Structure 1
Amino acid sequence: MSELAEEKDLETTIEDAAKAEEQLPEVTGDPLEEAIARVQELEEQLEQSNKRVQDVQLRSRAEIENIRRRAEQDVEKAHNFALEKFAKELLEVIDNLERALDLNTQAIDDTGKAIFDGVELTYKSLLSTVNKFGIESVGVVGETFNPELHQAISMQPSEGFTTNQITQVLQKGYLLNGRVIRPAMVMVAA
């Protein structure tokens, strides 16, 4: 029995070893190479994540810069155009002074002449003051018609003027820091 039993035990052991070997996971390559490949894969994922984080940071900085720039522009516009309503009201005063100055001065006596000179000084002082705050007039005879600055009331043929030149200014226009607050009403050469 001993030899036969030993042979059977040996066969059983070989069969058990074969079954155990079948149950082991299949090793296709070197475990070190597999670990290196896994580390490289993880490094690539980390690099991609870092790129996404950098992209998000860059976009966030750009958005913050845009918000700051827009806020600065809004503050600048508020400073530049805060006087717009007030300036429009002053334009009526300027127009009235201009109408007063358009009177025929030859029919005025010495007392009237003094009043006329006072009105003229007041007008010049007012224009100087509004110019300091960025208000400037537009609409001069002989200048080329610009639809952004002028409002054409009519077009008529005129000697001495080329087409689209202003021949007469009916009401001056005004800009506040480069923005039209009232277009000039003009007649244009046809």
Structure 2
Amino acid sequence: MAVHPYGSVLAMLIVMSGLPGAGKSSVARELGRLLPAPVLSVDPVEAAMWRAGVDRRQPTGLAAYVVVEALASDVLASGQTVIVDAVNDARAAREQWRGLALRRNVVLHYIEVTCSDRTLHRRRLEGRQRDIDGFVEPTWASVEARRTNFDAWDEDRLVLDSAAPLTGNIRIALAHLRDAR
């Protein structure tokens, strides 16, 4: 974390990444509560577009990333830390966040959440109910397809395994963010 000369922490851009159902939103919400920092999630934005009448055949996934980027930019401009909650499986998406951090002159942290236990991952995915009006949850087959096409990382990132307890992962993430100062 960058520190202001008077001791206050400067804004950070924390970007979550991971397959649907891996546990990244749980980590994002808890980090948001503890830091505190707003959590901006791509899925509810995309669902809102559909509810507003934007055709699902349009590139609403890309549009949702752009909307979240604009919102994150405003939050960062006010000097606050922000957490972006999205799959971020494509290099282009991760480059988008790097560009935002550079434009806003803030520290960027990527946190990738994986689940080493595929049975647990599948059970979480198939059992979750996020109450995002109009959003259809992905299938296990679609998650497996995304896993196959997940772009390799070039960026430094913290990797958390959600097969471990959430409390331990949060401690690791907070220590990582604190040590980045």
Larger RCO, structures 1/2 (Cα 8 Å, 6+ apart) = 2
TM, length-normalised to structure 1? 0.24
When Rg is computed on C-alpha atoms for both structures, the one with the higher figure is: 1
